[in-house]
Amino acid sequence: MEIKIPEAVKGIIDILENNGYEAYAVGGCIRDSVMEQEPSDWDICTSSLPEETLHCLNAENIIKNGLKHGTVTVRIDGKNYEITTFRTDGEYTDHRHPESVSFVRDLREDLARRDFTMNALAYNPQRGLRDYFDGMGDIEQGIIRCVGSPDRRFGEDALRILRALRFSSVLGFSIESRTAKSIHKNAYLLKNISVERIMSEFVKILTGKNAEKVLLEYADVIAEFVPEIKAMVGFQQYNPHHVYDVWTHTVKVISEIEPTRTLRLAAFFHDMGKPKAFQRDEKGIGHFHGHPDISEKMAEKALKRLKTDNRTIAEVCRLVKLHDVRPFTAKSIRRLIAKAGMERFPELLELKRADAKAQNSDYLKDTLQYIDFLEEMYKAELSKNNDFTLKTLKINGGDLKNMGIVDGREIGYCLNQLLLKVIDGEIENDREVLFREAKKMNQNICKS
């Protein structure tokens, strides 16, 4: 098999080979290439020791930070290329990093320590493809399989558990039975992994094309870092609008929504509060009054625990809080648009549509017609260049101070009241009109 590799990579391999060493492009770049996908980066492995690699390259643009673990990084035309000596790993006492590494001269020994067969591929333009563990066969069959013992691989580096789920979700591959069994068995090891790394992998799992299958099959793994979902799994809703338990419904919503970070996270959290809000009436029908507010608080807590950035937390929580609001009047729809934000309102509609599609199909047509109605109302406001925020209000705090309202709380109250009047269509967002209304408010404040 011939694989097209970048000139920079070929150049590095040629230099090492001409000095009597073996060198190969290795890992994910070869996996992606044989799958006819564009690799995001290119890694090289070699029989040369780190100091020998440095001697061969003799370049100024070298980064030596990884020498301890056998890695030399070369920067060419703005891109970094890691060159790592063939090695075997010592003990993984922290279930993440080896205590030591031993350099070897044999490629097979190096590939034997890697996580999955599809990542244990190496290619050299002269020697061709090296595949000692049938990685090509697993790629052809769409299978994720550990190299050697799954328990050993996951015990060495617990992040591999989430990498397996991520590859399954993104590539649409199935996880081989022994590997899957080991994932369930060793999921508790994720406690050794930093929440930042967990969150990075989790978002990729959520946004993958195979997310539904992975989330349904590995809920116990996800519960290791989002334990709030345990109550959702198998929780029956006893409501004619629903045909799935809370967890299955949630996963169906995720699969129905656009695969963006914010939308998939909002879908993941939108009904998390249902088990806490659940009540059954005298007819046995289940109700979840107030569950969006509960879900919002749970989402905020979980996302902060996972050290998510504040902007994402705010955007996700806003969608979760508003996903079940059902306005019908022009005034109430404008208020919902204002709460969601003009730019974000289409995302709320997207969440509502996905939520509807994951419920009882008997009600789907009417629900989608209602959401279409909301969208038409939104487009009408958009065409008027309406943007219901304090920033777009044609009067500000400085104007109110000049009118004699100096207390910060009173200024905030007046501005918000003016905004509500504009949203409700009681007054125009016109500077003179707003001044007149503000003067009336100021007089009332003085009287009180």
- Cα–Cα distances (Å) from 347 to 51, 273, 344, 350, in that order, read 53, 21, 5, 5
Report the pLDDT value the prediction gives residue 274, as an integer from 0 to 100: 98
Cα 102 from Cα 50, distance rounded (Å) = 12
CB 156 within 8 A of CB 202: no
Cα 122 from Cα 279, distance rounded (Å) = 58
Cα 80 from Cα 376, distance rounded (Å) = 49
Which residues are registered as beta bridge partners of 72? 83
CA angle, residues 70, 74, 76, in degrees to nearest 5: 160
- Provide the token pair at 301: 């807590």
End-to-end CA distance of the chain: 85
pTM to 2 decimal places = 0.89
Lookup result for tokens 């003085």:
446
Of the candidates 88, 122, 83, 119, the one whose C-alpha atom is nearest the C-alpha of residue 105 is 88
Tell me the residue ranges of DSSP E strands in 110-157: 122-124, 128-130, 143-144
Report the pLDDT value the prediction gives residue 67, as an integer from 0 to 100: 83
Cα 319 from Cα 422, distance rounded (Å) = 23
Lookup result for tokens 């617990």:
158
Per-residue pLDDT of the chain (448 residues; tens, 9 = 90+): 789 999 999 999 999 999 999 999 999 999 999 999 999 999 999 999 999 999 999 777 898 888 888 999 999 988 999 999 999 988 887 777 778 889 999 999 999 999 999 999 999 999 999 999 999 999 999 999 999 999 999 999 999 999 999 999 999 999 999 999 999 999 999 999 999 999 999 999 999 999 999 999 999 999 999 999 999 999 999 999 999 999 999 999 999 999 999 999 999 999 999 999 999 999 999 999 999 999 999 999 999 999 999 999 999 999 999 999 999 999 999 999 999 998 899 999 999 999 999 999 999 999 999 999 999 999 998 888 777 888 888 999 998 888 888 788 888 888 888 988 888 888 888 899 998 888 888 777 665 5
DSSP assignments along 146-171, one per residue: BSS-HHHHHHH-THHHHHHHHHHHHH
- CATH code for 143-225? 1.10.110.30
The topology under which CATH files domain 7-141 is Beta Polymerase; domain 2 (3.30.460)
Cα 373 from Cα 395, distance rounded (Å) = 32
Residues 6+ apart with CB under 8 A from 178: 145, 146, 150
Q: How would you label 389-419 residue by residue, b for 16+ Cβ within 10 Å and e otherwise?
A: eeeebebeeebbeebebeeeeebeebbeebb
The topology under which CATH files domain 228-383 is Hypothetical protein af1432 (1.10.3210)
Residue 304 exposed, middle or buried by CB count within 10 Å (0-12, 13-18, 19+): exposed
Of the candidates 181, 184, 193, 132, the one whose C-alpha atom is nearest the C-alpha of residue 157 is 193
Report the pLDDT value the prediction gives residue 65, as an integer from 0 to 100: 81
Of the candidates 226, 225, 137, 123, the one whose C-alpha atom is nearest the C-alpha of residue 173 is 137
Cα 432 to the chain's mean position, in Å? 46
CA angle, residues 434, 436, 441, in degrees to nearest 5: 90
Cα 116 from Cα 122, distance rounded (Å) = 13
Bin 129: left if φ > 0, else alpha if -120 < ψ < 50, else beta: beta
